[in-house]
Amino acid sequence: MTPFTPASLHRQQKNRNRKMQEGTVLSYTVIHTNSHPLAIGLIQLDDGSKILGQLQTTNYKLQIIEIGQRVQPRISLMEVTENGLRRYDVTYEICTTKDSPIKSPAFPGYILSLTGPSGVGKSTISRMLVTMFKDIAPVPIITTRTPKESDNDNEYIYVSKKKFADIQKKGDIVAFAHLEDTDDTRWYGYRAEDIENIWTKGMIPVVITERHLLQGLANHFGRRSILSFGLLPPGRSRRAMLSALLHRLRERGRDSEESIRDRIKHAKKDLAFFEDRKDLFDQLVVTSNLEDIVNIVRRTLPHLA
Amino acid sequence: MNADVFLIGGGLTPFGEHWDKNIRTLMDEAMSSAIYAASVTALDIDIIVVANMLGQATNYQSHLGALASSLLPHKPPALRVEAACASGSIAIHTACALLESNKAKTALVIGVEKMTDSDADTIAHALMGAADEEHDQSCSLTFPGIFGLIAQRYMYEYGLTRDELSLISTTHHRHALDNPFAQFRMSVSPEDVSNSSMVADPLRLLDCSPISDGAAACILSTESPKRNSRIRIAASQIANDALSITQRPVLTSFPATKDAMERALKEAAISREEIECIELHDCFSIAALINLEDMGFADPGRAVALYQQQSLPVNSSGGLKACGHPVSATGIKQIIDTAKYLKAENHQWGLAQNFGGAGATCGIHILERTS
């Protein structure tokens, strides 16, 4: 057991925000101890991560727990120590609604993902990888934004918001992100079909993601399927990194000053995401030299042609 | 393997509750019988590898390398390794590495655990050290609880029934009837298992391996024994996986076993079909099924058929369930029992699979009997 000290308590508290989510029971058990039975569930939280937590049941015999049931977080008193300190933690209350049963995903294949703030060089690296390796194929992004001259062929599929919502409703879009700007909200998404088609050809799909898209893909295909690279701008501090991004965005001259401001705002959250969800990344790479990145990919995937 | 490593002797204490023995006497007993069984003397031992998990937590005794060394007249160098329930196979793996690299010519490997001195809560907490402190322990989960979650999910996905699961412990108990070293030499019917008291739903008391004291020692050497029938370690492989079950994509399979198995078969240069007997890690009944599937002897969800048909000798010793499970001794006891079985039945290839935690470490050894 974790020692009950102010420091260990503080570390536990840091995780509490993540724990305060609804989720679905993947499996459960009732442990019969000397004092009272204890129901514990393995829960898939709505952000895709999994957690072990006590399940709140009034009476474990009367309330039937089932795999696939929805749960809601509650703060409960876990214990009172000898010197009177009260320890609280998140437990999960069983809801009556039932989710569609989650099947353990079979391992479908690898996806190469490049995640990072706008201007870090995701598209450039993706294009380089696609031209250098025959086995890597890009996945088209469904977007509601208007086409730009600088866009490459086949990189985007442009749709209206209505059309986007329709595809999404059908369940074809497995990962999506709504990026709010001052003037508009841009929607981006990936279709499972596009990725699966690349697999059937025996190739490895490469996707350009940000935090929501990456989480969506990890939820759908399983974290294990994703070979996830986090791309960091050069710089020793967060401020230096943001300034490097600002320079690049201005240099490439594609965006208005206002849009650049929005992008920098998102970039702050993106950089924090590397810290918060370390588990979603296999490697963090600084994009000072693009050749290095290709070499890292080559080293990680030695069989690539 | 970079050198031929032979198993030249093995010794066990009976597993069970040894109120009159402590860590030192258990080790002494197993070491003495291993040396007696081998063709070498104590003075030929160049190094000792000790496997132990709970010494510090339950017996206030760490520094077991020195303790083991002090039991031999020439105080050979000794070290201790730990990988929860896989400590035994990790110790064998370490000894093989020392022998293969010619650091030593003859190594004594000993696994020891003295668990019955502590009360149930202390032991349960200490064993939870094999799971992830941050992600698994905070909600008062126990190890039977972890395997309860796994079993629940397995039954949900593959439709395994309670009666089918009960067959596992019944079979292992039947095998242990003739094993003088086993903790429980009694037959248990499937009904007994299904009606035993609930531990962690759906696992019942007779699904779980017991708390035991015991030690197992074996002597490995690169010098070939002058005997007709020799046991060679044909493969020694270990593999790892995420420590916490919350960080695994699936609950009902342990990728570490798959990895270790593939590499072990490659190292021994044999196919799966050539293996004639298996000692596997059945800390809980459900684990036996998952292990057989991960090692490729059955399709996912179908391993129970092997128990129904009795088609492969699995855990002929009685396994962890019936022999007892003194955590770190288990991996070494499996090797000794596999060797015994190969000699008794005149078989060529045997396999021992030993895992730690919920499959976060897996060690697989393949033994070959040559004549």
SS3 content of chain A, % helix, strand, coil (to 5): 35, 30, 35
Q: In percent, how much of chain A has pLDDT > 70?
A: 91
Does the distance separating the beta carbons of A29 and B201 come in below 8 Å? yes
User: Which pair of structure tokens corresponds to residue A226?
Assistant: 């994703």
* B135 neighbors B248 (Cβ within 8 angstroms): no
Task: Express each pLDDT in A142-167 by its tens digit.
Answer: 988 888 777 777 788 888 888 888 88
* A155 neighbors A138 (Cβ within 8 angstroms): yes
Cβ contacts of A30 on chain B, cutoff 8 Å: 148, 198, 200-201
Task: Express each pLDDT in A266-295 by its tens digit.
Answer: 888 888 888 878 888 888 888 888 788 888
pLDDT for residue B54: 95
Does the distance separating the beta carbons of A53 and B139 come in below 8 Å? yes
Task: Please name the helix (run of DSSP H) or strand (run of DSSP E) that holds residue A175, with its range, or none.
Answer: strand A173-180
Task: Express each pLDDT in B28-86 by its tens digit.
Answer: 999 999 999 998 899 999 999 999 999 999 999 999 999 999 999 999 999 999 999 99
> Does the pLDDT at position A201 exceed 60?
yes
Backbone angles phi, psi at A66, to 5 degrees: -135, 150
| Least confident segment among A282-286, B121-125, B186-190, B325-329 | A282-286
Strand order in the sheet with B349-356: B78-81, B47-51, B106-114, B213-221, B5-12, B230-240, B361-370, B349-356, B277-279
Is-cis flag, bond preceding B202, omega within 30?
A: yes
* Residue A99: band (very low, low, confident or very high) from pLDDT cuts 50, 70, 90: low
The residue among B171, B159, B163, B154 whose CA lies nearest residue B294 is B154
| Least confident segment among A176-180, A236-240, B15-19, B84-88 | A176-180
Q: What end-to-end distance do the CA atoms of chain B give, in Å?
A: 20
Interface-testing mutation among A27, A60, A103, A277, with chain B (most B C-beta atoms within 10 A): A27
Q: What is the pTM of this model?
A: 0.73
pLDDT for residue B207: 96
Q: In percent, how much of chain A has pLDDT > 90?
A: 12
**Would you call A237 helix, strand, or coil by DSSP?**
coil
More confident residue, A187 or B209: B209
* ipTM of predicted complex: 0.90
Does the distance separating the beta carbons of A42 and B156 come in below 8 Å? no
Cβ contacts of B132 on chain A, cutoff 8 Å: none
Cβ contacts of B138 on chain A, cutoff 8 Å: 2, 12, 52, 89
Three-state SS annotation for A42-109: EEEECCCCEEEEEEECCCCCCCCCCCCEEEEEEEEEEEECCCCCEEEEEEEEEEEEECCCCCCCCCCC
CA B320 from centroid of its chain's CA atoms? 7
| Least confident segment among B81-95, B137-151, B224-238 | B224-238
User: Which pair of structure tokens corresponds to residue B323?
Assistant: 């022999």
pLDDT for residue A58: 61
Q: In percent, how much of chain B has pLDDT > 70?
A: 100
Mean pLDDT across chain B: 95
> Does the pLDDT at position A129 exceed 80?
yes
Our answer to whether residue B281 is catalytic in this structure is no
> Does the pLDDT at position B341 exceed 60?
yes
| Least confident segment among A53-67, A75-89, A133-147, B300-314 | A53-67
* Residue B350: band (very low, low, confident or very high) from pLDDT cuts 50, 70, 90: very high
pLDDT for residue A97: 58
> Does the pLDDT at position A62 exceed 60?
no
Task: Express each pLDDT in B152-172 by its tens digit.
Answer: 999 999 999 999 999 999 999
pLDDT for residue B4: 93
